[in-house]
Amino acid sequence: MDVEPGHFAGMFANMRILGFSILTTLIATSCLRAEPAAEQQVRDAVKSPDLTVVHLWAPWCSNCQAELKNGGWLKMAKENPKTKFIFVSVWNNGNNGRAMLEKFGLTNQANVTIAADPGPRTGDAKIKQFAGLPLSWIPTTWVYKGGDLRYALNYGEIRFPVLEQFLADSESEWSHKGEPKLEE
């Protein structure tokens, strides 16, 4: 078999380029954080023109348990049937907490969705951001309307009369047209 001079050199050069391309792709891919299904589900849901409440919680969290025990979440879901409620279990090693939500009647509500972030509960890999917002404490509750974040309660238990007021405010026009202006 006759091989032209330089044939192997060209072949090795092409292999180096291909190898470099593969390495570059692998590095770029490993640097990107794949968005978990729960995050994508929330991002899609909050685009709705309707109200959406996103509640980040975990069944082991005593503050989260207190919110469930007082019946506030079930009452909110029942009294606001047009509002979507998404319970996202975080820092719970991928478990969605469905069993606990079922104890408090939330799994039977048509306007309640249950999801889980797959991330670990502790350590450096624990998520510190969800759907583009900081996550430093649970429970955390966000109210959206038409893709806009209207309220973010990022620390501690929700007071349900306050949440009810936030929902009512989010449905309002947010306008003071026709009211007299203050003098400068």
pLDDT digits (tens, 9 = 90+) for 151-162: 999 888 999 999
Q: Which two tokens stand for residue 60?
A: 């082991």
Cβ contact 67:158 at 8 Å:
yes
Residue 166 has pLDDT above 80, yes or no: yes
Cβ contact 50:145 at 8 Å:
yes
Among 48, 69, 67, 70, CA closest to 57: 67
Residue 20 has pLDDT above 60, yes or no: no
Tokens 């079922």 locate to: 102
Q: What is the percentage of the chain residues whose pLDDT exceeds 90?
A: 66
Tokens 């409440």 locate to: 53
CA distance 51 to 35: 23
Among 56, 65, 50, CA closest to 91: 56
State the chain's mean pLDDT as an integer.
Answer: 86
pLDDT number for residue 179: 82
Cβ contact 50:82 at 8 Å:
yes
pTM value surpassing 0.75: yes
Q: How do residues 103-151 score in pLDDT, each as one tens digit?
A: 999 999 999 999 999 989 888 889 999 999 999 999 999 999 999 999 9
DSSP-derived 3-state class of residue 37: helix
CA distance 60 to 106: 17
CA distance 180 to 184: 12
pLDDT number for residue 32: 46
Q: Which residue has the higher pLDDT, 35 or 172?
A: 172
Mean pLDDT of 67-90: 97
Q: Which residue has the higher pLDDT, 7 or 126?
A: 126
Q: Which residue has the higher pLDDT, 15 or 57?
A: 57
Q: What is the percentage of the chain residues whose pLDDT exceeds 70?
A: 79
DSSP-derived 3-state class of residue 168: helix
Residue 5 has pLDDT above 70, yes or no: no
Residue 12 has pLDDT above 60, yes or no: no
